């Protein structure tokens, strides 16, 4: 976490500690990084590490921060917020759930969320987020795929992301059904006409952001069976493609 703070400061981000959560190693801070630019640029939020056994997201965030000063020109034009590691107690244990055995990504909007999610919910409500990107991995997938909540199919970013990854030689999950949902060429798309119903006990973060008014949310899923550097490269290329499209 010190490495992330250091890289963030070097990249011009302001680190904030939203609060502390319990873990095996004691109490761990939940960090939020922000980089403000003058004017009314849209605000992007990048979140990683909500599932502790999906390390490519947090590693991609660290790589992004380390590269930020010398690249990522399109991202420089946005207000950027990053939550580099949502579930540090799960990350320590290399487990999906947090130290209390809860899957934090099913608790957004619930009346009694776990402490890491309570801190984020309180923080997110304070300003609108225009674009939300959630970095995940999926042990079952042979290749990259993603979820997107977009206004409609013609404006979806997903097909462009898949093209970019395919062109770079990364494998894509081509199954017509992924996680029980219809998928086309690695994309599970939801538009305003088929937003999934909100769970009473709490929702994944993408759905919660949608409920708060975020117009576009994307969730990337990389395959843990490949080496970590390849998965980090997939996450970064997908992110770069989205930001380039969004600022074009």
Extract the tokens encoding 137: 């991995």
State which residue, 54 or 148, has the beta carbon closest to Zn ion: 54
d(CA 164, CA 105) in angstroms, rounded, equals: 28
Q: Is residue 231 part of the contact set for Zn ion (CB under 5 A)?
A: no
State which residue, 103 or 123, has the beta carbon closest to Zn ion: 103
- The torsion angles phi and psi of 62, rounded to 5 degrees, stand at -60, -45
State which residue, 77 or 106, has the beta carbon closest to Zn ion: 106
The minimum distance between CB 120 and Zn ion, in angstroms, equals 15
State which residue, 51 or 210, has the beta carbon closest to Zn ion: 51
The minimum distance between CB 77 and Zn ion, in angstroms, equals 29
d(CA 35, CA 52) in angstroms, rounded, equals: 25
Q: Is residue 97 part of the contact set for Zn ion (CB under 5 A)?
A: no
The minimum distance between CB 48 and Zn ion, in angstroms, equals 10
Piece of the chain touching Zn ion by CB under 5 A; list 45-53, 56-64, 196-204, 232-240 = 45-53
The minimum distance between CB 180 and Zn ion, in angstroms, equals 15
State which residue, 54 or 81, has the beta carbon closest to Zn ion: 54
133, 209 Cβ separation under 8 angstroms? no
> What is the pattern of x (binds Zn ion, CB under 5 A) and - over residues 114-153?
----------------------x-----------------
**Measuring CA to CA, which residue among 246, 31, 49, 42 is closest to residue 148?**
246
The number of residues that bind Zn ion (CB under 5 A) is: 3
The minimum distance between CB 34 and Zn ion, in angstroms, equals 23
d(CA 241, CA 153) in angstroms, rounded, equals: 17
The minimum distance between CB 136 and Zn ion, in angstroms, equals 3
d(CA 94, CA 74) in angstroms, rounded, equals: 33
Q: DSSP code of 104?
A: G
State which residue, 104 or 109, has the beta carbon closest to Zn ion: 104
State which residue, 21 or 135, has the beta carbon closest to Zn ion: 135
Beta bridge partners of 216: 131
Sheet strands (E) in 105-213: 131-137, 145-149, 177-178, 181-182, 187-190
**Measuring CA to CA, which residue among 91, 82, 96, 86 is closest to residue 116?**
86
Q: How many residues does the chain have?
A: 248
The minimum distance between CB 39 and Zn ion, in angstroms, equals 34
Extract the tokens encoding 6: 């250091």
Q: Is residue 51 part of the contact set for Zn ion (CB under 5 A)?
A: yes
Residues that bind Zn ion (CB under 5 A): 51, 54, 136
């Amino acid at each position: 976490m010190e490495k992330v703070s250091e890289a963030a400061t070097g990249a011009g981000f302001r680190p904030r500690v939203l609060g502390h959560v319990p873990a095996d190693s004691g109490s761990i801070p939940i960090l939020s990084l922000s980089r403000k630019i003058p004017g009314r640029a849209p605000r992007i939020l990048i979140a990683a590490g909500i599932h502790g056994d999906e390390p490519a997201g947090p590693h991609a965030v660290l790589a992004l921060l380390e590269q930020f000063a010398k690249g990522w020109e399109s991202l420089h034009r946005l207000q950027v917020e990053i939550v580099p590691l949502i579930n540090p107690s799960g990350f320590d244990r290399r487990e999906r759930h947090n130290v209390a055995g809860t899957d934090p990504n099913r608790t957004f909007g619930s009346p009694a969320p776990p402490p890491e999610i309570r801190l984020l919910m309180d923080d997110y409500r304070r300003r609108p987020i225009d674009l939300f990107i959630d970095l995940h991995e999926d042990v079952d997938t042979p290749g990259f795929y993603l979820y997107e909540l977009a206004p409609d199919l013609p404006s979806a970013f997903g097909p462009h992301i898949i093209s970019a990854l395919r062109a770079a030689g990364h494998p894509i999950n081509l199954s017509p059904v992924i996680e029980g949902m219809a998928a086309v060429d690695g994309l599970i798309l939801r538009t305003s006409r088929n937003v999934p119903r909100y769970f009473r006990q709490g929702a994944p973060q993408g759905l919660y952001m949608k409920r708060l008014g975020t117009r576009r949310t994307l969730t990337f899923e990389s395959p843990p069976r490949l080496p970590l550097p390849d998965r980090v490269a997939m996450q970064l290329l997908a992110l770069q493609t989205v930001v380039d499209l969004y600022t074009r």
